[in-house]
Structure 1
Amino acid sequence: MTVPHPAAAPRRALLRSAVRGHLPVLGLILAVALLGSVAEALTPAAIGAVLNAATDGEGLAAGPVGVLAVLIVVAIVASVWRYAASSRLRIRVAFQLKQRLGLAVAGRARAIGREVSPGELATAMTSDTDAIAGYPGALIQLIASVVAFAVVAGYLLTSSLLLGAIVLVGVPLLMWTTTRVAEPLEGRQREQRRLLGRLGDLGSDIALGLRILRSIGAEQTFRTRYRETSRQARTAGTGIAGTEALIEAAKLLLPGVLLILVTWVGARLVLRGSIEPGELVAFYAAAAYLVEPLGALATFVTTRARSRVAADRVLRALAVDPPGWPGTGTTASGDLRDGTTGVEAAEGEFTVVAIGDERDAGALGARLAGLDPVDALTTTIGGVPIVALDRSALRRLVRLHGAEPTLFSGTLRANVDPGAAAADAAVAGALATAVATDVVDALPDGLTTVVGAQARTLSGGQRQRVALARAVLDAPAYLILVEPTSSLDTVTEVEVCGRIRAQRAGRTTVVVTTSPAFLEAADRVVFLAGEPIGGTHAELLATSEDYRTLVARENA
């Protein structure tokens, strides 16, 4: 008993959803493919009729020649149209899959990021969606080829029972052999895709962390790790190539053997006078045509293997189901409190939270901003759980600037004002608050300068200031900043701190950092090392040995 793959049903559902909006086009492509394949299948019979007419002394009779011409024209036109229509359909299906996956990532980025690595996600978004989109076309061509095979087999049976029997037995046997040869393909492709995803992750880690790797002397370790993974991926690719080569060889060799057998038997029948010479030529052409269904089967087998592996990867991202957001409230006001740690920021104050561990700093910022409904269950504003607020309302009320903010491909202005809703004066004010005016002035086209992904043409400090300008734009009621000046020099850091302090006057601001500039500027400092300890910077220096140690380490 064969146990179905557990992902088989979701795979089929993904394929159905991908082509659901294109069923009329698929039906038309199938009809044209059937028409073209049948015309090709009947062409050998028409050739035989023309030759028989010529050998019977009738010359090139208009009827057989006309039929042959019509069949050739129909086959050519149908083939060209089917190829063009299938290509357009493949592009549309691939685009819709990319769009669907992109929307899922945009809406569930945090949850998907925990389950799927960036390298795997990039592969799913590109080559995997293309592989899935090629499956319907391969299936249509296989169906059309099978129908054409039935036509050829019927013609051979009516002309010669022996030749028809050879074809009816031989072609299914060859198809079975081809599928057996292709059996290891899917497993090998799945392993290679896994290794390629791992290779992409390593490449991304090396590119993003090259300076750190050099500083700690770990370049050789990562080089060795990358080389080993690359070798494994190459070995897996060689295994795939070997299987695909066997499939291609079977696609050509096995029909050739059948063609020789049909031709030899047909020649014996001609010598006996059982069939006409023209029929032998038709049999030869018909047997040669049998390469088409076997080729279609080989293409389908390889395409199916690729699409199944690709569908598993796409489904892995699409299947991530983050917890639902329960809230429907529209607004809240009051003190912002994290119930997990006990950290509390008074409404309208400039609060700095000092934590020694960067991971704890990022987690605190995420909880205060309500990025995850489960993590944020104990976070409140004025005693109201933030999960009781509508998510859109919460995003307008609370804004988070993470330790590693992201900039996107596009203009600099689009990175500062993604919604394109702010006035020029507001954008200029946000840039001034973040001390980023000089960044704009240094670019050739100012705010309209196009920057690539992550704006890598800018320095780390420039990127951080541009992202900070985005955070302070529109002056949200609650602003959480996590290590906002970690890439800046001391002088610039002090200036940024002063401007943010002034711009945020009267609004609730929480800065998670150990920067001395922010600690000194705070209305209140919360030192988190176990139970939170609150007070001014001077008070904590006077009363907490651990706090003095932390500050001394930062000043060192």
Structure 2
Amino acid sequence: MTTATRATRIANLPFAEPGTPDLRSGERFMLWIVRLQSRPLILGILCGIAWMSLQAGIPLVLGFGIQAAVDHSSSGVLWAAAGVLVLGIGQATAGVIRHRFAVTLWLSSASRCQQLVARHVAELGADIPRQIATGEVVAVSANDVERIARVMDVLPRFIGALVAFIAVSIVLVFLSPVLGVIVLVGMPLLMAVITPLLKPLENRESTQREKYGEASAMAADTVSGLRVLRGIGGEQHFIQRFRERSQSVRASAVRTARIRALLDALQVALPGLFVVTVTFLGARLALDGQLNVGELVAFYGLTAFLVMPLQTVTEMADKFTRGRVSARRVVKLLSLPARRTQLGSVAHPGDLVDEVSGLTITEGTLCAVVCSDPNTAGELADRLGGMAAQGSGGVSIAGTRIDDLSAESMHAVVVVQDKDPTILSGTLDELVDVPRTGSVERDAAMYAASAEDILEGIDWDEELPERGRSLSGGQRQRLALVRSLIADPPILILDEPTSAVDAHTEARIASRLREVRHGKTTIVFTTSPLMLDQMDEVHFAPDGVVLASASHAELVRANSSYRYVVTREE
């Protein structure tokens, strides 16, 4: 038995290993979760059956007691009172235990799904934005996981409701064959009335879920680009777009709510009308002498009790519909391919070679790549770092193709710093707490990134807001550089690391970068003459293909196209 199947208690959460899910469909994914939690599920079902059955037994005993009172039997009344007390205590005990197992199933399912999503997101790494909207990832983690867990919560009650329904129907047939058959046939017919609503509800749930994911993605993109929007005066345009998108989500939610409201209304109205009908027929039978008073009371109580199983079945149908839609979204996310799945590794970093662009970076050098377009530079940086969505075919390190390397090996060898680096919430000390070699101390990295001035307004243990909103663009960029330098990878790729800093700060960073990265391969994508002048070699790749390689001074003197890109002079 694996760890994934053993760890079912709340105390064992999170799981040491969440397991390998069945991703063939949303339904199979949910069935996989059920199988891994068979023990608490079976115990929860048994408690659910006991809870429902004991509750159903109370009307029977009450009917016996009332008939005993009618017959002036004191002992019968006492026995009935004792029976109700025992059944009430038993029902309460079974209900508490059932609820405990239900909570265990809910938390375990949610934790397992969360861990699966987190693990796969970590495997995808920087490929995520290229394959799925970040807002969709947030929506899956925040909403879909919860909906799947809710199915596991109601499942024991649902099975207990079915068993109780069958048992009560048999008792009703024994008390009155006519009324028993009416109940036995009528309750399924009520479900048949509700069932046609489930498919439209599922379709509208799916549409609403997609629109919600799109709106979340737009909101995330808008917030992350707020400074840019303010700079170009585009706030009102994006506000209008988000307003239109949110109104679309609202309209979709209203359409879904209409069906759900109808479903909830039928869930109350139909059983109520059915109970009134059966009670009326039972009263007629009592008047005709076919039922005594106690049997009529028991019959009414049992019929009224059947409303609960029917509501539970309807609740299960509703939550299963939502859960199935959410499971499909989770499966879609977990099915996104993580490109590096093999277990290759690099014994010792060497030259980095890209056959497509013609780029060859000698191990241990400080070099630059100049592209005419920032997007081209970003795409080439992603290729070299193994983060391109289409793969990095043709790129190798020390003769090993990086597409054949495991994610762990790539992370240990190559670090890529984007031009717009992410600053996570937490303290400044936590921000720079990354896997490291120990060769570069924190203070040395701060000095090399010319970031000492940041400490004048922020302490190491001070909490930073999400994405470092309180910091300027230059401060965020320099803190990201500090983080990269502390990691001290054998190969460091910096995409426009100084685009948001002033010229004096950029000059200091350029002059200090060589010392802190001595003996390690460093590739800087930039068009800044201040940075380029410090490089061992500059590769000119205006459209992503290397046209010339030399020092900055030589390229400025001999190549007019290069001179135009870096100085804007003909």
Provide the secondary structure at the position in 1 that maps to 2:541: strand
Equivalent runs, 1:150-549 vs 2, <5 Å:
150-326=166-342, 328-371=344-387, 375-387=391-403, 391-419=407-435, 422=438, 426-443=441-458, 446-473=459-486, 475-530=488-543, 531-549=546-564
Aligned to 1:129: 145
* Percentage of identical aligned residues: 33
Q: 1:324 & 1:355 partners in 2: Cα distance? A: 27
Cα deviation per residue 1:359-384 (whole Å; 9 max; x = unaligned)? 21112222222335963331234555
- The one-letter amino acid paired with 2:60 is A
Decide whether aligned partners of structure 1 residues 333 and 297 sit closer, same or farther in structure 2, where only a CA change above 3 A counts.
closer
Aligned to 2:7: none
1:149 to 2:165 alignment: yes
Aligned to 1:101: 117
Aligned to 2:98: 82
Deviation at 1:48, TM superposition (A): 0.7
Deviation at 1:159, TM superposition (A): 1.1
Q: 1:551 & 1:282 partners in 2: Cα distance? A: 91
Aligned to 1:3: none
- The one-letter amino acid paired with 1:175 is M
Q: 2:282 & 2:323 partners in 1: Cα distance? A: 41
Deviation at 1:329, TM superposition (A): 4.5
Cα deviation per residue 1:332-358 (whole Å; 9 max; x = unaligned)? 454332211112233333211111111
2:353 and 2:397 in contact (8 A); partners too: yes
Q: 1:326 & 1:93 partners in 2: Cα distance? A: 29
Decide whether aligned partners of structure 1 residues 373 and 384 sit closer, same or farther in structure 2, where only a CA change above 3 A counts.
farther
- The one-letter amino acid paired with 1:494 is A
2:197 and 2:259 in contact (8 A); partners too: yes
Aligned to 1:4: none
Q: 2:154 & 2:120 partners in 1: Cα distance? A: 28
Q: 2:23 & 2:367 partners in 1: Cα distance? A: 53
Provide the secondary structure at the position in 1 that maps to 2:460: helix
Cα deviation per residue 1:461-504 (whole Å; 9 max; x = unaligned)? 11111111121225433222110111111111111111102322
Q: 2:136 & 2:566 partners in 1: Cα distance? A: 41
Provide the secondary structure at the position in 2 that maps to 1:407: coil
1:341 and 1:532 in contact (8 A); partners too: no
Decide whether aligned partners of structure 1 residues 191 and 532 sit closer, same or farther in structure 2, where only a CA change above 3 A counts.
same
Decide whether aligned partners of structure 1 residues 12 and 183 sit closer, same or farther in structure 2, where only a CA change above 3 A counts.
closer
Higher mean displacement: 511-520 or 524-533: 524-533
Cα deviation per residue 1:200-248 (whole Å; 9 max; x = unaligned)? 1111122122232233333333222211111111111111111111111
Deviation at 1:89, TM superposition (A): 2.5
Cα deviation per residue 1:112-158 (whole Å; 9 max; x = unaligned)? 43332111110100111010011122222121111111122111111
Decide whether aligned partners of structure 1 residues 326 and 179 sit closer, same or farther in structure 2, where only a CA change above 3 A counts.
closer
- The one-letter amino acid paired with 1:453 is E
Q: 1:253 & 1:207 partners in 2: Cα distance? A: 46
Aligned to 2:49: 34
Q: 2:142 & 2:407 partners in 1: Cα distance? A: 31
Q: 1:139 & 1:30 partners in 2: Cα distance? A: 8
Gaps of 5+ in 2: 1-21
Q: 1:306 & 1:413 partners in 2: Cα distance? A: 42
Cα deviation per residue 1:496-533 (whole Å; 9 max; x = unaligned)? 11110232234332111111211222222211125421
Provide the secondary structure at the position in 1 that maps to 2:441: helix
2:415 and 2:491 in contact (8 A); partners too: yes
Higher mean displacement: 540-549 or 215-224: 215-224
- The one-letter amino acid paired with 2:429 is R
- The one-letter amino acid paired with 2:235 is E
Provide the secondary structure at the position in 2 that maps to 1:510: strand
Q: 2:334 & 2:293 partners in 1: Cα distance? A: 61
2:50 and 2:91 in contact (8 A); partners too: yes
1:48 to 2:63 alignment: yes
Q: 1:57 & 1:515 partners in 2: Cα distance? A: 103
Deviation at 1:9, TM superposition (A): 5.2
Q: 1:32 & 1:337 partners in 2: Cα distance? A: 64
2:61 and 2:84 in contact (8 A); partners too: yes
Q: 1:325 & 1:164 partners in 2: Cα distance? A: 61
Q: 2:44 & 2:445 partners in 1: Cα distance? A: 55
Cα deviation per residue 1:444-475 (whole Å; 9 max; x = unaligned)? xx323332432323222111111111212254
1:116 and 1:316 in contact (8 A); partners too: no
Deviation at 1:187, TM superposition (A): 0.6
Aligned residues: 546
Higher mean displacement: 187-196 or 410-419: 410-419
Cα deviation per residue 1:300-334 (whole Å; 9 max; x = unaligned)? 11101110111011111111123345563533454
- The one-letter amino acid paired with 1:18 is I
Q: 1:546 & 1:9 partners in 2: Cα distance? A: 53
Match of residue 57, structure 1, among 60, 72, 79: 72
Deviation at 1:542, TM superposition (A): 2.1
2:351 and 2:360 in contact (8 A); partners too: yes
Q: 1:382 & 1:91 partners in 2: Cα distance? A: 47
Q: 2:288 & 2:410 partners in 1: Cα distance? A: 90
Compute the TM-score of the two structures, normalised by the length of structure 1: 0.92
